[in-house]
Every structure is written in structure tokens, then in C-alpha cells.
Amino acid sequence: MLKEFYSKYSTKVADARRVVNHPLTYAEKVLFAHLFNSNELGVFKRGVDYVDFRPDRVAMQDATAQMALLQFMNAGKNKVAVPASVHCDHLIRADVGVEKDLPEAMRANKEVYDFLRSVSTKYHIGFWEPGAGIIHQVVFENYAFPGGMMVGTDSHTPNAGGLGMMAVGVGGADAVDVLTGQPWELRMPELIGVKLTGRLKGWATPKDVILEILGILTVKGGTNSILEYFGDGLDSMSATGKATICNMGAELGATCSIFPFDRNADEYLCRTDREDVARMARENRAELCADDEVYADPEKYYDKIIELDLSTIEPHLNGPFTPDAATRVSQMKSKMDKFPPVVEVALVGSCTNSSYQDLCRAASVARQAIEKHIPVKTQLIINPGSEQIRYTARRDGILDVFEQIGAVIMTNACGPCIGQWNRHTDDNERCNSIVTSFNRNFRRRADGNPNTYAFIGSPELTIALAIAGRLDFNPVTDSLMNTEGQWVRLDEPKGYDFPLKGFEVKDKGFIAPGGENHIQVVIDPESTRLQRLQPFDAWNGKDYIDMPLLIKTAGKCTTDHISMAGPWLRYRGHLQNISDNLLMGAVNAFNGRANMVYNQLTGAYEAVSAVAKQYKAQKLSSIVVAEDNYGEGSSREHAAMEPRFLNVRVILAKSFARIHETNLKKQGMLALTFANKNDYKKVSEQDKISVLGLTGLAPGSKLKVILNHPDGTKEEFMAEHTYNQTQIEWFKHGSALNFLKR
């Protein structure tokens, strides 16, 4: 696949440049080189036109792979159309340490792992076993390549952009399109150019670059956009550092982020035994970056420009509750009246920061606690990114350093970052603060406690705050008292981009795709973990009349709020069971409470899923009303499938996050936005809501929404949508998969 790709890549870029008749950004080159039909090459309107693409590969993590592969099994194919991989990283609990946690995960999740392994073997999919590592770190080490395009059933798939790959997080239905050889549809993204100059210094890291950008753009500032990085500041930044930046671009709502191919990417490929890929990339070097004219006059070619001098970047601590609450560590002292000041737990890992370089630099800080006799105040948890990193870090003594200051080494998996943390605490409702090197810090996400104030920083800063035990400690300026009564300072972090003795691993935990089509995939009808999917019903051709309001959500409503992770991950392959968590984290706008909504059938307040089930039993469709950026966060399509399963027909929001809006469309839902956002205020708790004009649904059309208030009065307003003609067919047929099969 790679040889064929690189043999044609530069020619495809040249053809695109000739047709559009202007210099190209790097993102445009990759997009044009992956058009599903090269005959459709033309000038596409950014942010408006939908375009069909042909990605090179698909990656799926175990929590989302279940639903994706259940859908693929219904597509009637005998093998996947592109290289694909499944990674078992989400279902492993972080409890007491890898020695006990991994065997327990193998026992508790055996049914799911056996299912994923058998489906992978049957349909020619590579399988990464439990403990092999976190999907995005493993993809970066083994699959990411400059100029390529991939989709992944996880929102942090853009991590691969650190090696110059266009990697996009999608729902399982989108992945099925690619796996079955169908066009993958994407709205042509707008382009945000990010010019980096200067050089990071002191405690500042690539993590701090993206944390600062989050403060600038916010969690919805990158929606339907690609962030393309350029400038002389890239020269001094490692490939894994760039991956960290691309990874957290997902928190901007960005389609993806991408860096050009350079000597750092070249070296990373060679150090991870992919010299042949590096050689082919070198031969295409001129087209693995933007054209010179673009760099000379970027304002002419990007829709927006952000410029950062890396030498001015300071260590950041973003949070709590949202990753765009950006705060420089130097400013934390002025905010300490707002947060619990003591850091109770520090956690290093996640797909964002678990590379060898991350662990090496973090260990240089941890080592100082030993050498300078500084007592460590905080519980410390470490999750290596892959078995290759873990094995090499153990060989080089890095993990030993962490253990000497009391750290617990967890499995090479997502663990606490995805809510798989069995936190040992006296009270899981108590107000407290934690610091992580993760990417998200939504309320309840890490430990299920709504009163845990989670902050995001670099691994180096996370270790420093573990040693100090306080949020307001600034390692740049502050001193700590050691056990000998002396005030001492922590030196700047130091570390190697690559292990001096090279990477080493005994067993990566990989089963290569085999293609044994005779294998029968068995799903026990009585299973509580897995359930075969039944097609959703098609639209009946009528307007939606008098739908009871299920919930009007207030404030942030992420996919964590819509379909919680943590203990609910065990039901990701069983739509009926996981639907019990529908919107249980969302805040009801009428009473300020979570999972407590008015039941129009009984007049009582009940859990959201319980009310939805009763409406469904009475053959009543229902509607959800929400505020801005509804569905922010994960790519989990369960957040779209659950309401669909429980007969919610419409989500009416002020705006949507990109992945979630697509997931809703794929599952036959009607995703609408207020033409006037102030109309959100008109919706009352006991309203019955009608949506009119569906028989005339067309691209660009508007629909009429009528609120039937309980006092007999009515109000009406207009709603908008972004459906194109194909997506309208998905809606009419009941889902994209229904349409594909017919």
C-alpha cells in the first residue's frame, strides 16, 4: 500500500495544483491526493462543500471497535477494503498496578476480547492484544506515515499528524464506509495556519503550546477546520512533541492537525525501524509540505492565521472541567481561592503524553526528588504508552525512578484518562484537585467524582506538582524544603528524544491479519456485553408531531454527558444495556440536576433513560434540546445510537461538535440548529414539540418548529440543518448503513 501510495502521490498533487490553479497548502495536497474519484478534482468551497475521500487505513480501539465491527458484519463483506487494526486499550481498569490489573482485565473482558480477536481474524484486521499499548501511540510507532490519510474510531486519532499524516477521528459508521470500500464523506475543512517561531525553553513543552492555543481558540474554535503548522519553530520540536499538539487539537473541535515532513519525522521513522517509509517520504519531500508561495504569504492561503513565538510560551495548567480554561502556572497563585489547593493525585500517561521522550523528561524531574532529598507529597500513577516504550523505559531505569518516589506503574493502556480508574479514596464525592498529563478534564471523567477538579499539564509539570503537592507551585521560580531543612529548586527537565540504546521489546502483542473466513463469530444471545444490531426503522414519510421534550440541557454537554465512559465501557458492544446511561450526566435546564427529568406521561421526575423508555413503549418520539457545541469530546457513536434506540428523533441544539453531528446523521437522527439561538429560551419543560417541513427536506432548506405549551399557547421558530442529498437519504432510510445495504 505504501509503495503504491508514494509512487502516485507527487503526481496527484501536481494534477491538483494544475486544476485549482494556485499554490497549495500541505493539508490541501493530502486532501486532493485522497479524493475518492480523481475525476471530481476541482475547487471546493471550504466549510461548505461535502467531498468524498479514500483514506489509506482505519484504526479502532476496543471500546468503539465493538459497535463499528458489529455494523461491519451487517454490511455483507468478507474482508476489509483497506488495512485496519484493532487496539485493546480502553477496557483495562487502573486499580493496583499492571501485575494484577492486566490479568484481571483479561478475565473480566474475555468475551469482548475473544469477539474482537475472532472478527479481526475473519476479516483480515490486525489485532493488538490487551497490554500492547494505547491506540494512538501504537499507530504512531507502527503505522503513521507522511502524506497519508487515516480514520480512527477515537477522537484523538489526529495524533498521527505529528508525522505528517492526515488522521481524523470518526464514528464507527464512518469507519465502516472506509472498511467496505465506500466513499468517506467529509465537509471540506477550513484551514487555520499556525506559524511557530523561536524555540521552547526552560519548563515549556509542546503540551504548553497546545494548551495556550486552546486558550486562544476555545473548545469549538477549530470546528470543521484543519490546523496546519509551519515556521522555523518546527525544527527544534520532536515528532512526538508534534504528536502531542495534534492529539489535543481534538479539544479544539478540529477535524485534525498536521505538521509537514521534516528531519525530525525522518529520524523518528528510522528509529522505529521504518527506514523504507522514510526513504519514500524523502523522495516526495517537496510535496510533503506547503508550497513556497504559501509560506511567503500565508494570509492569502489560510482562512485564519495564529502566530506564536515559542520562546514566550510558559508552562500551563488548564482547567478545571474544560481543557480550554488556560492558565499559566505563574498565574495560579492568584486563583487559589477558587480551587482545592492540595494536589491529591498526579497522573502521567494517556495517548497525549506517554512517549519515551515524555517519560524520560518526567523522570529527570522525579530523580531530583531523590537526589535533593525532597519528600514527595502526592500519589503518583504512570501509564506507559506502549509495550515497546514500557520495555525500553524499564531497561533504561526510567520506571525504577518513578517507583522510587512511590509511583504505581499501571498497564500500557488509557486507564484513568478514559475513566477506567478505580480510585482508592475515602469519599468519592469530596471536593479535591488532581493534575494529569491527559487531554480532557471534563467533570466526572477520570474518577466519576463530580467534585474532582482536574487540571491538565505536561508530564514534567505533573511530576513537579506531585513533588510539591500544591497547585500553586511554580517550578520556574519556587523552592521546596528538603528533609534536611534546606530550600532547594528543581532544575529544568532534561531528556532524550530517543533511547540511547535504541528501542527494544520482546513481544509487541500483535497478531497480524490472517483472513480466515471460515471462522464463525459467536455472540451469545444471553450476553450482557455483546448484542447483534438490528437495523433502525426508516422514516415514515411524515412530520414529527407533538414530541414530548425529553430534556433541555444546560451548559456543556459532551459525549461524556450523553454516554458516560468509566464502568459503562463494559456495555459498548450492547446497545440495549448501554442505553441505560443516556444523558445521565447532562444538566436539566429546569432544575439544575443531572439525570432527573420530567415525565409527561406520569408527572414524575425520573432518570432520562427511564423516561425515554416509557415514551418509546407508548410509540412516542421525543426530542432533546441543547446549547452550543453539543457532543463535544469523544468520537463514541453510542452518544448518537442510544437516543436513536430509545426513539429520540431530533436533537435541536445551538451548534454541534463535528464528529457528533456526523454520527447523528449516520444513525438516521435529525440534527437541527436554532436559526436564532435565543429561541432556545422559549422551550418549556412540559412542551410538546413539532417539526414541520420534513417532506420537503432538501440541502439548505429550513424546518418549522412549533412549541405547544401546556397552557394551550403556541410559539414557532425556524431551525436549520447541514444535510446534503446523500445524508438526507440516510435519514429517509433510517441510517447510513441501511442506505448502503439497499
- Residues annotated as catalytic (active site), given as ranges: 89-90, 154, 440, 634, 636
**Burial classification of residue 710, based on how many CB atoms lie within 10 Å of its CB (0-12 exposed, 13-18 middle, 19 or more buried):** exposed
CA distance 368 to 366: 5
CA distance 703 to 321: 35
3-state secondary structure of 735: coil
Give the other-Cβ count within 10 Å of 48's Cβ. 11
Instruction: In the chain, count H helices and then E strands.
Output: 23, 28
C-alpha closest to that of 636 among 72, 89, 153, 152: 153
C-alpha cell at 282: 524523502
- Tell me the one-letter amino acid at 37: N
CA distance 12 to 4: 12
Cα angle: 133, vertex 658, 171; to 5 degrees: 45
Q: Are 87 and 117 in contact (CB under 8 A)?
A: no
Q: Which DSSP symbol is given to 485? A: S
Question: If you write DSSP's letter for every residue of 620-662 in order, what string do you get?
Answer: --EEEEE-TTBTBS---THHHHHHHHTTEEEEEES-B-HHHHH
**Burial classification of residue 479, based on how many CB atoms lie within 10 Å of its CB (0-12 exposed, 13-18 middle, 19 or more buried):** middle
3-state secondary structure of 342: strand
3-state secondary structure of 324: coil
**How far is the CA of 687 from the CAs of 150, 380, 546, 550, in angstroms?**
44, 50, 8, 10
Question: How far is it between the farthest Cα atoms of the chain?
Answer: 79
- Tell me the one-letter amino acid at 665: K
- Read off φ and ψ for residue 238, nearest 5 degrees: -70, 165
C-alpha closest to that of 651 among 630, 637, 666, 678: 630
| Contact residues for 341 (Cβ-Cβ < 8 A; gap 6+) | 433, 470, 471, 472
- Tell me the one-letter amino acid at 378: T
Question: If you write DSSP's letter for every residue of 452-484 in order, what string do you get?
Answer: EEEEE--HHHHHHHHHH-BTT--TTT--EE-TT
Tell me how far apart the terminal alpha carbons of the chain are, to the nearest angstrom: 30
C-alpha cell at 689: 414539540
CA distance 130 to 415: 12
Q: Which residues pair with 20 in a beta bridge?
A: none
Give the other-Cβ count within 10 Å of 204's Cβ. 24
CA distance 139 to 127: 12
CA distance 603 to 685: 11
